[in-house]
Amino acid sequence: MGLETMTNAERASLTGKIDRITARAVNAPIEAPVKTASGEIRQAPLVVIDIDTSDGIRGTSYIFAYTPLTLRALVTFMEDLGPTLIGEPAAPASIYKECEGRFRLLGRQGVVGMALSGIDMALWDALAKAAGVPLAVLLGADIAPIEAYDSYGVVDPKRDAKRLETTLERGFGAIKIKLGLGAISDDVHTLSELRQVVGPEVRIMVDYNQSLGVTEALERIEAITEFDITWVEEPVPAEDLTGHALVREKSPIPIQTGENWWFPEGAANSIAAGASDLVMPDLMKIGGVTGFMRAAAMAQAASLPVSSHLFIEASAHVLAATSNIQYLEYLDFAGSVLKERMLPENGRVIAHGPGLGLDWDEDALKHYAA
């Protein structure tokens, strides 16, 4: 039975009612630091979410806190929110709508939106587990390999040669790096060396992490055009839709944005502004699975290819159900606390199940508890 043919009542009947919501904070080790124009990520501060239902199903998900400073706030908020949802049907679309109304006056950005998205993902996980299928199947999709790109921070192609060789050995046909820390000449030098290392066939994307103004963005884009760049990501601040539209209008390279959209309304505003050629919603900010599928539908209507941002396990499922898919971003933040890490094969990943395919390593969760 697919999503399109199920009513909310039928969804609720699969998993019963919400019995308990548990949130735990961990600082998970990652393969290598991710250096950006805005700072460096040396470990992944995660909030691990478990939702138990009256039918004995446990839905799981995780969210990425960006900094350990937000871990306590996220866990506390979810502990306070949990009792207000106990006894409600474990139907994600209904809970999404209820929370949308509950936080209308406050707004849903920041900690609130992150927590609500995590709950939504866990509820969809429970729903698919109750049906005994991977989430992608519940969403009406086939399970098939999805092309991914290997996602880096700032790189030094010579210093990071071994990591880059591993990327090529894993079969990735695309790689993304961060730029913008130095002068324009530094961007050019990095891309020149990177292109020599990976060869002419591998696609290269670049991410400026919102660090530029419109004029400087266009100057830098013009300087790197010779390296056959697939996209330039968030050249100006994410909320500057006018600035993104101006850069997009004059840029010879496609512009990518979307990871900082908050809920489908953010997607609608960006698409209406003509802010990008490509989109990449973030499951934690777009509203979980419910929000992602709504934003992906808007993108399809606007003929905008869709990629994912982080959350490789859940992203593999929602992208499988997205017709205008482009890439899955491969950046593994949770593998160290899972019993089975999602690894690429020939540069592709495949969704695991049942549900989202997440199975916590409880010893690791205790070891890395924050």
The structural domains of the chain, ordered by start, are: 3-136 (3.30.390.10), 141-365 (3.20.20.120)
What span, in angstroms and rounded, lies between the C-alpha atoms of 364 and 339? 9
CA torsion sign, 198 to 200 to 202 to 207? positive
Give the separation between CA 300 and CA 326, rounded to whole angstroms. 12
pLDDT at 35 (0 to 100): 81
Per DSSP, the three-state class of 328 is strand
Average pLDDT over all residues of the chain:
95
Find the mean pLDDT for residues 330-354.
96
Region 177-197 average pLDDT: 96
Average pLDDT over residues 230-253: 98
CB-neighbour burial class of residue 217 (10 A; exposed 0-12, middle 13-18, buried 19+): buried
Residue 11: pLDDT band with limits 50, 70, 90: low
Worst-scoring range by mean pLDDT, 30-44, 70-84, 173-187, 355-369? 30-44
CA geometry: angle 20, 24, 25, nearest 5 deg: 160
Residue 151 has pLDDT above 90, yes or no: yes
Residue type at 280 in one-letter notation: M
Tokens of 301: 């209507």
In this prediction, residues 285-297 reach a mean pLDDT of 98
143 pLDDT higher than 90: yes
pLDDT score of 88 more than 80? yes
326 pLDDT more than 90: yes
Catalytic positions are 178, 309
Whether the predicted pLDDT of 14 surpasses 70: no
Q: Return the biggest CA–CA distance within the chain.
A: 60
- Per-residue pLDDT band at 18 (split at 50, 70, 90): very high
Confidence band (pLDDT; 50, 70, 90) for 7?
low
Asked if residues 205 and 256 have their Cβ atoms less than 8 Å apart, the reply is yes
pLDDT score of 41: 87
**pLDDT value at 327 more than 50:** yes
Residues 6+ apart with CB under 8 A from 327: 147, 148, 149, 174, 307, 308
CB atoms within 10 A of CB 337: 26
Q: How far apart are CA 42 and CA 47, in angstroms?
A: 16
